[in-house]
Structure 1
């Protein structure tokens, strides 16, 4: 019923996911849900990402559990097995769980999306390509609007987790260029792509 799969980042509790739906009589129930499927989950990985749920379009098609069936499928753009930060259909939504080992840092990157990211465990630094940085503590959140950014866990001893909902945006002009997805190379060893 609920995901019990532990994060590959040591020290973090399993992230439980419950998907509420209806039975044939219209009564509310919890749907069967696959374990969290973490990407970048090797023992040496600094960051692990799991797609906690996804829908192909907004407004979402919930009739006949179409969204739940697509998410539980082994493949497809909204499958729990996929690792894209933004749903490739350019009109859907992703709910992601991102775990960071102590000292972990993502590459500087941007996506063609608006993201709502909330720190839930530990502390996480959010840094912009202009050098500005804020530290997030549990409950603090970022509204990420297609900007270049990096996520870092400033602790050298404790892991951290944030949850993000990503929604595609219409590409817009940024300094004379249309917004596009970019992932810069990570210069330091031990860092991870996100």
Structure 2
């Protein structure tokens, strides 16, 4: 699988960037793998220079402590779940949009609700505690693309200030 980023040349014409490798960088995560497709450290990003590409060149090989999304930015990633694997329970300080690309997953919420998502299904997660489980028949992998945008903090719900959480 190849990954390309576009930019502009000295004449202002669109060209492919040569600052990042075209091969993805895969991170091992509990229950699967993660490939960071892009990240920005401010929203909206400044595109007048290639500072965003330079920052992404670093981010693609480093997972941030609170997840894939920088505290004031955005991110996109491919998440692959091993057969029958489950993620850890987690909440990130981001508004996440997940689109299932292949396989079948269960999305569990801390209130006990579960939804089945298949290829083409999507879910929006505004800072909610959740867990993903791969239930693809025949021991298949499941794959999703994730888009994340940082949220305003403090983040308060029902009188409680919420933050990033990972429950192993």
Q: Could you state the TM-score of these two structures normalised by the residue count of structure 2?
A: 0.88
Q: How big is each residue's C-alpha offset from its partner over 1:33-64, in whole Å with a ceiling of 9 and x where there is no partner?
A: 323222117xxx63111211100101101112
Residue matched to 1:56: 41
Residue matched to 1:169: 151
The answer (yes or no) to whether the contact 2:91–2:166 under 8 Å persists in 1 is yes
How far did residue 81 of structure 1 move?
A: 1.0
Establish whether residue 97 from structure 1 lines up as the match of residue 78 from structure 2.
yes
Establish whether residue 120 from structure 1 lines up as the match of residue 108 from structure 2.
no
The answer (yes or no) to whether the contact 1:51–1:82 under 8 Å persists in 2 is no
Residue matched to 2:54: 69
Which structure carries more strand by proportion? 2
Q: CA RMSD in A?
A: 1.6
Q: Could you state the TM-score of these two structures normalised by the residue count of structure 1?
A: 0.77
The answer (yes or no) to whether the contact 1:86–1:113 under 8 Å persists in 2 is no
Q: How big is each residue's C-alpha offset from its partner over 1:134-190, in whole Å with a ceiling of 9 and x where there is no partner?
A: 1111221111011110011102511011111111112322232111111112xxxxx
Match of 1:157 among 127, 139, 147: 139
Farther-moved stretch of structure 1 (27-36 vs 131-140): 27-36
Q: Distance in 1 between matches of 2:94 and 2:57?
A: 24
Q: Can you give the 5+ residue segments of structure 2 that lack an aligned partner in the other structure?
A: none
The answer (yes or no) to whether the contact 1:49–1:83 under 8 Å persists in 2 is no
Q: Distance in 1 between matches of 2:56 and 2:90?
A: 26
Residue 50 of structure 2 aligns to a residue whose secondary structure is: helix
Establish whether residue 140 from structure 1 lines up as the match of residue 126 from structure 2.
no
Q: Distance in 1 between matches of 2:162 and 2:94?
A: 9
Q: Can you give the 5+ residue segments of structure 1 that lack an aligned partner in the other structure?
A: 1-13, 74-78, 186-194
Residue 151 of structure 1 aligns to a residue whose secondary structure is: strand
